[in-house]
Chains A and B, each alone.
Chain A
Amino acid sequence: MNAITTERLRKTFGGVAAVDDLSIVIQKGKIIGIIGPNGSGKTTLTNVLTGIHRMDGGVVVVGKKERTRIKSCEVFGLGLTRTFQNVRVFEQVSVLDNVLIAITKKGVLGSLFERASAAQIQNADAVLARVGLTEKRDALAAELSYGQRKLLEIARALATDAEIILFDEPYAGLFPEMVKRVSGIMQELKAEGKTVILIEHDMALIRELCDHVLVMDAGKLLAEGTPEAVLSNPSVIEAYLGV
């Protein structure tokens, strides 16, 4: 079973293809690593898959339908969510509310007369406990440290209860004990049957967590396979060393 498939997916910026006719398959229920040198198009791929950027060509199959356009407000409905490489939490909103947003009603009339219920708040608190932000619950997100914001973003992603979660460099800027906690979450998600897509530069983490790794270079798929196979592939080593 596949969670996401792309066929000749393309995104260009002023004539330069950041994602260059990329065809990949993301298997369901696995932790899929995406690695590649800086500027190889990993974040752009994430942005196209979540409707932040409009694709310039190709097809994405997600949620049983072939799509040539993905709108970012549909992404939640597709059971897909993400975190951002350059952390994006709702700064002027409390930590708890950052998580509740993903849980509570979305329609105007439904939400206008809804106060977060005890069950919803309990759910949000459980998610905050999972990432270790319980103590910061009532602080404004703007008051959090960089690492705490990254954790809050992960919490918000967890709270959407999406089937597919894209993590764009979630470990950057985290303390070692936080790294362990996040790795634990990745494994729990997999155990729950969810699909995790992990963009990461730390090869030790890739080896530890991933079932399958895709290597991107200049917007194309350079190699794929198990972490061992991929990380010993000469062309991958070459791409990373920039020979």
Chain B
Amino acid sequence: MDIAAQLTVNSLIAGSLYALVAMSFNLIFGATRFFNLAHGALATVGAYGTFYVGVVLGLPLSVAVAGGVLTAALAGYALERLVFRPLRARKASNLVLLIASLGILIAVEAILAIFFTSQFKTLSVLTGAAQTIHIGSAVITHVQLTMFASAVLVCGTLWLVLSKTSFGRAIRAVSDDAEVAKIVGINTNVIIAALFVIGSAIVGLSGVLYGLDTGIEPRLGFMLLLKGVIAAIVGGIGNVYGGFLGAFLVGFAENFGIWFISGEWKEAIAFGLLVLFLVFRPQGILGKKHT
């Protein structure tokens, strides 16, 4: 039982992290319809933003977290304005956009490695010694609890915005048929830019939290991206809530999977799940309905 409780907590922690990536990935994908691999780079940018503000500049934790999230949001906005929008205007195919985003992912990792070296760094200066909470026989740190709270809060806020506000209605319209959305007066470029800001802030937060929990290195975003995208597809590509569900499915499968198979296979479990879904339920858990 002890193991089960801890595995449940671990699953929820991993799921929360993946959920932040998957929800934001699907939020942007819903409206832009291309596989934005640069999304992962923004998690790294967020983590290094926090490192810079908190460790290099020595500002307090809250400022460092805000700084990291804001840096990621701005970087996402910049990518949309400087790379993706010009490519869309030229009617570039989704393959071209995908390759451009892969290029950005690699370039951002390289640039961060140049400035900060590619060595692993911890952010424990900011968090101090990990404070833990006991839930029954399971242990969870404050940072990990924040991950879970963030995932739930972000999901709830996105639900409110998407289903209750005029902005959300416009997003759903753009995701559905961007050309017609323009005809009814929606400036799709502005909506997409806003989605990049919001989505990049969310994925930036995932990078920041991962950094505070584990530490940072330039490739952390790539790892998060892989799991996040698997969760996004498993949940239903382009579907925000699907991304949330898919993330916890991946989290639970990974952590409980090693009960049955050896721990070395942990990384393979998510991919196995992906293949199963691609073959038997390609539309994912929730399908494409609702953004």
Contacts and interface: CB of A to CB of B under 8 A. Distances in A.
A172 B161 CA distance: 37
The residue among B185, B188, B290 with the most chain A CB atoms within 10 A of its own CB is: B185
A92 B169 CA distance: 11
Contact of A92 (B161, B164, B182, B290): B290
A100 B185 CA distance: 12
A113 interface: yes
Interface in B144-182: 161, 164-167, 169-170, 172-173, 175-177, 179-182
Given A92-B172, A93-B176, A160 B184 contact: yes
A37 interface: no
A52 B179 contact: yes
B270 to A, nearest CB: 28
B214 interface: no
Contact of B185 (A76, A90, A114): A76
Interface residues of A, number: 37
A242 interface: no
B173 A111 contact: no
Given A72-B179, A92-B172, A102-B185, A108 B190 contact: yes
Contacts of B289: 92, 140
B53 interface: no
B183 A108 contact: no
A72 B173 CA distance: 15
A116 interface: yes
Nearest to B288: A92
Contacts of B183: 50, 72, 75-76, 81-82
Interface string B6-18: 0000000000000
B28 to A, nearest CB: 15
A108 B197 CA distance: 12
A93 B173 contact: yes
A160 B185 CA distance: 8
A115 B190 contact: no
Interface in B174-218: 175-177, 179-191, 194
Main secondary structure of the interface of B (DSSP, over half): helix
Nearest to A114: B166
A105 interface: yes
A112 B165 contact: yes
A72 B191 CA distance: 15
Given A90-B180, A92-B288, A101 B170 contact: yes
A97 B170 CA distance: 9
Given A92-B290, A101-B170, A75 B165 contact: no
B167 A101 contact: no
Given A92-B289, A93-B173, A115-B165, A108 B191 contact: yes
Nearest to B287: A92
A73 B167 contact: no
A202 interface: no
B107 to A, nearest CB: 29
Contacts of A181: none
Contact of A73 (B173, B177, B187, B291): B187
A65 interface: no
B17 to A, nearest CB: 27
Nearest to A106: B185
Given A75-B183, A108-B190, A160-B184, A90 B165 contact: no
B135 to A, nearest CB: 36
Interface in A156-180: 156, 160
Contacts of A106: 170, 185-187
A111 B182 contact: no
A101 B176 CA distance: 12
A101 B181 CA distance: 8
A116 B184 CA distance: 16
Contacts of A156: 184
Given A75-B182, A81-B184, A114-B165, A92 B176 contact: yes
Contacts of B184: 76, 81, 101-102, 156, 160
A39 interface: no
B238 to A, nearest CB: 10
B166 A105 contact: yes
A46 to B, nearest CB: 11
A111 B176 contact: no
A73 B169 CA distance: 17
Contact of A90 (B177, B182, B190): B177
8 smallest beta-carbon distances between A and B, as pairs:
A76-B185, A111-B166, A104-B166, A111-B167, A72-B182, A90-B176, A73-B182, A112-B167
Given A72-B182, A73-B187, A105-B166, 15 more contacts: A73-B185, A89-B180, A90-B176, A90-B180, A93-B176, A97-B172, A101-B181, A104-B166, A106-B187, A108-B194, A111-B167, A111-B169, A112-B194, A114-B166, A160-B184
7 contacts: A90-B177, A93-B172, A101-B170, A108-B167, A108-B191, A114-B165, A114-B166
